Amino acid sequence: MDPERLRRRILDWYRAGARDLPWRRPPGSRAPVDPYRVWLSEVMLQQTTVVHATPYFHAFLARWPTVTALADAGDAEVMAAWAGLGYYARARNLLACARAVRDRHGGVFPDTEAALLGLPGVGPYTAAAVAAIAFDRPANVVDGNVERVMSRLFAVETPLPAARPELRALAAGLADPEAPADWAQALMDLGATVCRPRSPACSQCPAPGDCAAFASGDPGTWPRKSPRAARPARRGVVFVLRGARGIAVVRRPPRGLLGGMLGLPTTDWSEAGPGPEAIAGAAPARRNWRDAVAVEHVFTHFSLTLKVLAAEGEGEGVEWLADGAEGDLPSVFLKAVRRAQGMSGAG
Ligand code: SF4
């Protein structure tokens, strides 16, 4: 492989057909780019797709056009705006970071990778991406897409996650110090649109002649992976109580899963599942609860089956979420509301 030729092919391919994304530096551009936009998009994109994240990105910018505006926002309104993007710990880190930029840096993002790394919730990937894309500084931007591309170009046999340091080193060796932003975005485009996880579109790739996995005839089998432990399964019961003021909700404890978010009243979620006493203790009212179809939801570290119990009336120790505002709930609870609605024919 000739690294110089490979780099040129990938950059030429990128500059001819780069994805037009609202947070990006256009190909070849040296004009300033707002680091707030780059940082916000990177935090959102760590857990979801471009298609899913884009409306959230626009909504956040419309509501909080600067990092200082976001820093000044209340926790609950940012958490509600984040609903649907998953992993609320990231939303809490988003706020902590915005406030650190406001309080420690006068509302201006620092422009080096090292200083960016000092911000709360900003890890090596995000620091490198913001340094490269917003400030056009040389940085080794390596996410899962780039790991996959490197593992294929070099046919790395070490399985993930052990291969990570090797893949980072390979990416560092290929990075273009003359065009950091273009190079970072070119690799992102290649990984996202062509060198896809299951079925790489090698016929559309600018680099099959330089790709060891392509030469093997079966590039989709890279990256090699260690066998994974199965996700543990947990079970619980959730209550959908509909009253005159809407749906009964509770504020979850600030720490832990979905911490600080509004949620439906629920039992603990455990592998054994709750017994009758735990179910009675978690119910927001004594009612004639009816069974709806259970909710299946997958979290990072476990899968969850939630039995949905529905009723109408008033409850104790709850707040009320107005009808139509269910979209503010984390998706696992939104699914439960929909199940209960389906049962009553209300939607
Ligand atoms: Fe990925 Fe195929 Fe291109 Fe190799 S030739 S980098 S496997 S798309």
Tell me: pLDDT of 347 over 80: no
Could you tell me the distance, in angstroms and rounded to a whole number, from the CA of residue 141 to the centre of ligand 1? 19
Give 107's contacts (C-beta < 8 A, 6+ positions apart). 66, 67, 68, 71, 101
Residue-wise pLDDT for 256-313, tens only, equals 889 888 999 999 999 999 999 999 999 999 889 999 889 999 998 899 999 999 999 9
Q: Is 262 in the pocket of ligand 1 (CB under 6 A)?
A: no
Mean pLDDT of the chain, nearest integer: 92
Predicted pLDDT at 343: 61
Which one of 4, 42, 77, 113 is the catalytic residue? Answer: 42
- Res. 1: pLDDT tops 80: no
Index of the ligand 1 atom closest to the CA of residue 204: 8
Q: Which two tokens stand for residue 258?
A: 């979905």
Decide: 153 in ligand 1 pocket, CB within 6 A.
yes
Looking at residue 344, its pLDDT comes to: 52
How many Å apart are CA 131 and CA 119, to the nearest integer? 13
Contact assessment for residue 14 and residue 190, using Cβ atoms and an 8 Å cutoff: yes
Q: Which residues have a Cβ under 8 Å from the Cβ of 149 and sit 6 or more positions away?
A: 187, 190, 191, 195
Mutate to test the pocket of ligand 1, among 187, 211, 224 (most ligand atoms within 8 A of CB): 211
N- to C-terminal Cα separation, the chain: 58
List, for residues 142-182, the tens digit of each pLDDT value.
Answer: 999 999 999 999 999 999 989 999 999 999 999 888 999 99
Backbone dihedral angles phi then psi of residue 45, each to the nearest 5 degrees: -75, -10
What is the distance, to the nearest Å, from the Cα of residue 80 to the centroid of all Cα atoms in its chain? 16
Q: Is the CB of 187 under 6 A from ligand 1?
A: no
Question: How do the domains of the chain map onto residue ranges?
Answer: 3-221, 233-340
- Model confidence at 316, pLDDT cuts 50, 70, 90, reads confident
CA distances 250 to 73, 266, 276, Å, are 22, 9, 21
Q: What count of residues does the chain have?
A: 347
User: Is the beta carbon of 146 within 6 A of some atom in ligand 1?
Assistant: no
Greatest mean pLDDT range, 81-85, 111-115, 228-232 = 111-115
Say what the pLDDT of residue 32 is: 83
For 335, phi and psi rounded to 5 degrees? -60, -40
pLDDT in tens, 257-273: 898 889 999 999 999 99
CATH topology match: 3-221 vs 233-340: no
Q: Of residues 225 and 72, which shows the higher confidence score?
A: 72
The closest-lying atom of ligand 1 relative to the alpha carbon of residue 206 is 3
Strands 290-298, 246-251: pairing is unpaired
155 lines ligand 1 (CB under 6 A): no
Which whole number is the average pLDDT over 112-131? 95
In this structure, are residues 311 and 287 in contact, taking their beta carbons and an 8 Å threshold? yes
Cα-to-centroid distance, 137 and ligand 1 (Å): 27
Is residue 214 in contact with ligand 1, taking CB distance under 6 Å?
A: yes
Residue identifier of the C-alpha nearest atom 1 of ligand 1: 195
Q: State the CATH class of domain 3-221.
A: mainly alpha
> What 3-state DSSP class applies to 212?
helix
Q: Is 277 a catalytic residue?
A: no
pLDDT band (50, 70, 90) for residue 24:
very high
pLDDT in tens, 212-252: 999 999 999 999 988 777 789 999 999 999 999 999 999 99
Q: Is the CB of 10 under 6 A from ligand 1?
A: no
What 3-state class would DSSP assign to 155? Answer: coil
345 confidence band (pLDDT: 50, 70, 90): very low
Q: What distance in angstroms lies between residue 225's CA and the mean position of ligand 1's atoms?
A: 18
3.90.79.10, 3.40.50.12780, 1.10.132.20, 3.30.70.260: CATH of 233-340: 3.90.79.10
**Ligand 1 pocket test target in 147, 149, 174 with most atoms within 8 Å of CB:** 149
DSSP 8-state code for residue 314: -
| Contacts by residues 31-36 (CB-CB < 8 Å, ≥ 24 positions apart) | 33/133, 33/134, 33/181, 34/134, 35/109, 35/111, 35/130, 35/134, 35/135, 36/66, 36/67, 36/70, 36/109
